[in-house]
Amino acid sequence: MNTRKLGNSGLEVSALGFGAMGLSFPNAPTKEESIKLIRSAVEHGITFFDTAQAYGENELLIGEALQPLRKEVVIATKFGFKDGSIQLGLDSRPENIKAVAEASLKRLRTDVIDLFYQHRPDPNIPIEDVAGTVKDLIQQGKVKHFGLSEANAETIRKAHAVFPVTALQSEYSMFWREPENEIIPTLEELGIGLVSFSPLGKGFLTGTLKEAELNMGFPRFSEENRATNQPLVDFVASIAAEKNVTPAQIALSWLLAQKPFIVPIPGTSKLHRLHENIGATNVSLTNDELNKINSALTTIKIVGERYPAQIQNTAEKNNDR
Q: Hey, what amino acid is at 92?
A: S
Does a structural domain hold residue 173?
yes
Note the pLDDT of residue 320.
Answer: 45
> CA-CA distance, 179 to 173, in Å (whole number)?
9
- Residue-number span of the structural domain to which 277 is assigned: 3-202+248-284
Whether the CB-CB separation of 257 and 287 falls below 8 Å is answered with no
- The model's pTM is 0.93
| Mean pLDDT score, 94-106 | 98
pLDDT tens for each residue of 12-69: 999 999 999 999 987 899 999 999 999 999 999 999 999 999 999 999 999 999 999 9
Does a structural domain hold residue 302?
no
> CA-CA distance, 307 to 321, in Å (whole number)?
10
- Domains contained in the chain, number: 1
Q: Is 55 a catalytic residue?
A: yes
How crowded is residue 12: how many other Cβ atoms within 10 Å of its Cβ?
Answer: 12
For the cut 60, the answer to whether the pLDDT of residue 202 exceeds it is yes
- What dihedral angle (degrees, nearest 10) is formed by the CA atoms of 74, 80, 86, 89? -170
> CA-CA distance, 27 to 22, in Å (whole number)?
9
* Domain at 69, CATH number: 3.20.20.100
Does a structural domain hold residue 222?
no
